[in-house]
Amino acid sequence: MWRLNKVRHKAGGHANSLEELRTKRREKERALRQARRDRQLVSKRLLLNEDEEQDTMEVTPGEQVSFTILYTDFRSPQDVVTLFQKLQHGSTEKEAFLRPLSKALRNPSAQLTFIKLENSMHLLVGLLTGSDARCRLQAVRCLHELSHSPHTSAASACLPATPYLLTYLSGQSTKFTLCLYTLGNICPESEKVKERLLAQGIIPALAGCIQNHRHNLAVVEAAGFALFQLLQSKDAAQKVIPAVLASSLPSQLLSVLTPDPDFGLAPAIECAWCLHSLTSSSEDHGELLAQGALKQCCSLLVSLGGAVADGNTDQGVELLVCPLLRCVGNLLSSCPSEALHSELGGVDLVAPLCELVVALLHTLPALAKETAWVLNNLTAHSTESCSALLTLNLVPRLLELLPFSQGINTMVLRVLANVAHKKKEFCIRLAELGLLSALTATLKMADQNVVTLSLEVLFMMIVSCPQVEQFVSQGGLSVLEAIQYNSDGEVRRRATYLLEQHILTEK
Amino acid sequence: MLQPDLVQFIAMGGSQTHNGDEEEGFRGAAEQQVEGNPFTFSPQLLRLHRDHQLFEDGDVFRHMYLQDLFISEAEEQPVPSVSEFGCHISGCRAVFSTLHEYEHHYNSLHRHVCCSCRRSLPSARLLDIHIQEWHDALFTILAQKQDMYLCLVEGCGQKFRTSQQRKDHLIRLHKYPPDFRFDKSRKEKGTREASGEQRTDSAVVAADDVCRSEGVCEVMCGVESNQLEQEESMETHASIEEAAQSEDFSASAQTPETNTERLKPKYSYRVPKTVCFGHGSVRGFRGQRGRRK
């Protein structure tokens, strides 16, 4: 299971070196990045057998063990044919053949072989709905292996089984997690599959599942995963999200957000990613705001952020922080500014966010950038937040972020610009805190966006406060003069305007 | 950066949602109404769609976890990348990883450029000497009768009748190399000067169009000569560092103030793409410094 208090990663057996592992991970990361750019980013999950899990526990303490690699059964596809024939003809002992069949179906080419056999899926569905409960379970296991296949045809072949899997979700004794992960795996396979599942009532089924099994966090995690998969479809905003928002799922998801100390972060992670999918695919945030989503995400973010900043966190807490940040960021953009304070319910976000940016900068710079984005949305139209940045002495920490690229310094400059834009007094205060000298450095950076934003901030500062001499004496004048020869026309215009209208006339 | 096609900017109109206190800010400021004000910033709420590029890293992180490739903390930590500094002068594409390198580049190459021949000198003093010896007709006349060639070492103060004598002095007394880059005598320019002159002429004509009456020089130069100068000065950095550096830094400290007092250069937006700018270069026309009102 994916309990994060025991985070495991692929080691591929004792023979593989750490270096191979790293290389493999880097390749995988590259592949994922490309998939995202192609809008094809989809993942599946494989639930292991209990006996597989059991065996892994006996490994020497400290060893990290792979699951799927170690237990991939590389039997020949021919075994699948043999087993299938035995299943077709024998009337008893079916379970005895189903178990090895499910193991054999771990192999991708065996998967293909199996689905091409005549009546193979029909047989499986028959066993799925038969009177033998243990056979049912093994049939689900076989379907699960097929759902995890890298071949679209194999996963789509599971389609006839879906109404039963969904029905069992509202039952009592089936292994819910297996059904849920199977459904989650085949969801994104094709439009046809997704529409069939929607028609068959997957959304109410998931809502019911979470509600009825709220105490069983493994099930909640699996349901969250299945919902997340459903929400990844390209037209989710039109076809899926309205139905989800109309169901009881929003409140369910919010109720799962706070991590259970014993079980770990995994269910909260899945639900948070669902919430992110909801808030980022659709502009319709009314329902979520009404349910108090902003306040809840903020207070959770504050407590997790504090733990991150202190350095005492469970492994993987960033996996929860990330979707929370995104929810807050997008919900803030829908929240009318006069309602901001009440929506936040008095949660002070400014200081925790600043701490979080700094803490994440050296562990996960990408998340630091997302945190800065949230700060921008918070400060854009809120004088209180801007004032808090000044009074809580957070500006120096923000200034320290200005050397860092890949979007971090541009976003931080936006935040500072938001502050400067509010009041003259804020500009004066910012100047006292050293913003002008920070700008003389950012104005020299190669990134044109940084330069443009720096000029905008500089303009606001110079107009508001009589500290031109400070800027000039720190070499600012010569920087501006150099910028007048910049290749970008807009940049040149701004520099010249500043010089002519404000700096050189001051004397 | 943010891709416009994926980001929905929702600039919440300030006037509708804010009370009067906020009018101190820039929205209501008279500044905005000044004609030609190019500054456009206003705070904006950024709503990011799930496919937005800003979310890429986090999504990859999430899927690494789903596929059991999650990294434990002890392993590789990504290093945050630092912004590079880039030389602003259009046509100069130099990029640096530290501010110090940027400053060094700028001060060495763009600060003390001769207006007439676009040579880049490493210090204000050497620039002055160069201009005097190469471009000042009066100097040539006086040099026939008196010792005019000043020793290049600051503080030495000796003068010589010919540049060759000065060169000998530099080699013998100050241990300079015989091929010191910043002591080429005028006649050595040779063909370079000729071709340089041609380019200068056309460039200067354009400059004159712009600021003819002001008596202030607008420096323009071709990329090739710029690069040549860069190569020259780069190579000799090692040898003249000790001598030049102290001069350089003291000179650059002075220039901002002196220049602002004397000049308000006029810049045209019709500046061609390749422009070489030097802070001390406006001294190329020493006798004609006029004060713009």
The residue extents of the domains of chain A are 74-211+218-231+269-275
Mutate to test the interface with A, among B5, B39, B71, B100 (most CBs of A within 10 A): B39
Element (H, E) at A387: helix A383-391
Cross-strand pairs, B82: A404
Say whether domain A74-211+218-231+269-275 belongs to CATH 1.25.10.10: yes
Nearest by CB to B84, which of A366, A446, A482?
A446
Query: Per-residue pLDDT tens for B16-75?
Result: 333 333 334 564 444 445 667 889 999 999 999 999 999 999 999 999 999 886 655 445
Distance of residue B182 Cα from the nearest chain A Cα, in angstroms: 24
Closest chain B residue by Cα to residue A222: B66
Res A242 pLDDT > 90: yes
Query: Per-residue pLDDT tens for A401-437?
Result: 999 988 999 999 999 999 999 999 999 999 999 999 8
Is residue A331 classed as helix, strand or coil in its secondary structure?
helix
Residues in B closer than 8 angstroms to A373, CB to CB, are: 46, 48, 54
Is the Cβ–Cβ distance between A350 and A385 less than 8 Å? yes
Res A77 pLDDT > 50: yes
Which residue, B233, B239, B247, B229, is CA-closest to B153? B247
Distance of residue A486 Cα from the nearest chain B Cα, in angstroms: 5
Cβ contact A477–B70 (<8 Å): no
Cβ contact B86–A318 (<8 Å): no
Res A58 pLDDT > 80: no
Answer with the residue of higher pLDDT: B211 or A326. Answer: A326
Cβ contact B63–A405 (<8 Å): no
Query: Per-residue pLDDT tens for B76-125?
Result: 566 778 888 888 777 787 888 888 888 888 877 777 778 788 787 878 88
Mean pLDDT of the residues in chain A: 86
How large is the ipTM? 0.88
Segment A125-135 mean pLDDT: 89
CA distance linking residue B149 with residue B171, whole number of Å: 15
Which residue is associated with the tokens 């929702």? B10
pLDDT at position A400: 94
Q: Please check whether residue B95 touches A, CB under 8 A.
A: yes
Element (H, E) at B48: strand B45-48
Nearest by CB to B38, which of A361, A449, A493?
A493
Cross-strand pairs, B86: B95
Distance of residue B273 Cα from the nearest chain A Cα, in angstroms: 7
- DSSP class of residue B120? B
pLDDT at position B77: 63
Residues in A closer than 8 angstroms to B275, CB to CB, are: 485
Residue A357: pLDDT band (50, 70, 90) is: very high
pLDDT at position B47: 94
- Among the listed ranges A347-351, A445-449, A465-469, B163-167, which one has the minimum average pLDDT value? A465-469
Nearest by CB to A418, which of B43, B67, B99?
B43
pLDDT at position A349: 92
Distance of residue A9 Cα from the nearest chain B Cα, in angstroms: 5
Distance of residue A40 Cα from the nearest chain B Cα, in angstroms: 11
Cβ contact B73–A315 (<8 Å): yes
CA distance linking residue A31 with residue A26, whole number of Å: 9
CA distance linking residue A421 with residue B37, whole number of Å: 16
Cβ contact B68–A8 (<8 Å): yes
Segment A135-156 mean pLDDT: 92
Nearest by CB to B62, which of A322, A445, A486?
A322
Cβ contact A370–B55 (<8 Å): yes
Answer with the residue of higher pLDDT: A101 or B107. Answer: A101
Residues 6+ apart with CB under 8 A from A268: A256, A257, A258, A259, A260, A320
pLDDT at position B234: 39
pLDDT at position A51: 65
Residues in A closer than 8 angstroms to B84, CB to CB, are: 405, 445-447
Which residue, A154, A160, A242, is CA-closest to A203? A242
Query: Per-residue pLDDT tens for A441-453?
Result: 999 998 999 999 9
Backbone angles phi, psi at A241, to 5 degrees: -65, -45
Answer with the residue of higher pLDDT: B276 or B216. Answer: B276
Is residue A404 classed as helix, strand or coil in its secondary structure?
strand
Query: Per-residue pLDDT tens for B213-259?
Result: 222 233 333 333 333 444 344 333 333 333 344 343 333 334 443 43
Is the Cβ–Cβ distance between B87 and B106 less than 8 Å? yes
Share of chain A above pLDDT 70, in %: 89
Cβ contact B48–A373 (<8 Å): yes
- Among the listed ranges A173-187, A327-341, A408-422, A468-482, which one has the minimum average pLDDT value? A468-482
Highest mean pLDDT among A375-379, A500-504, B254-258: A375-379
pLDDT at position A121: 93
Which residue is associated with the tokens 């997340």? A228
Answer with the residue of higher pLDDT: B265 or B131. Answer: B131
Nearest by CB to A381, which of B12, B64, B89?
B12
Residue A314: pLDDT band (50, 70, 90) is: low
Is residue A150 classed as helix, strand or coil in its secondary structure?
coil
pLDDT at position A373: 97
Segment A466-489 mean pLDDT: 81
Residues in B closer than 8 angstroms to A336, CB to CB, are: 12, 17
Closest chain B residue by Cα to residue A378: B45
Domain layout of chain B by residue ranges: 80-111, 125-182
CA distance linking residue A478 with residue A456, whole number of Å: 17
Residues 6+ apart with CB under 8 A from A500: none
Nearest by CB to A472, which of B64, B256, B275?
B256
Nearest by CB to B49, which of A280, A334, A449?
A280
Reading the block at residue B243, the tokens are 């001598």
Residue A4: pLDDT band (50, 70, 90) is: very low
Cβ contact B90–A329 (<8 Å): no
Highest mean pLDDT among A368-377, A495-504, B154-163, B281-290: A368-377
Segment B260-268 mean pLDDT: 40
Residues in B closer than 8 angstroms to A456, CB to CB, are: 39-41
Residues in B closer than 8 angstroms to A328, CB to CB, are: none
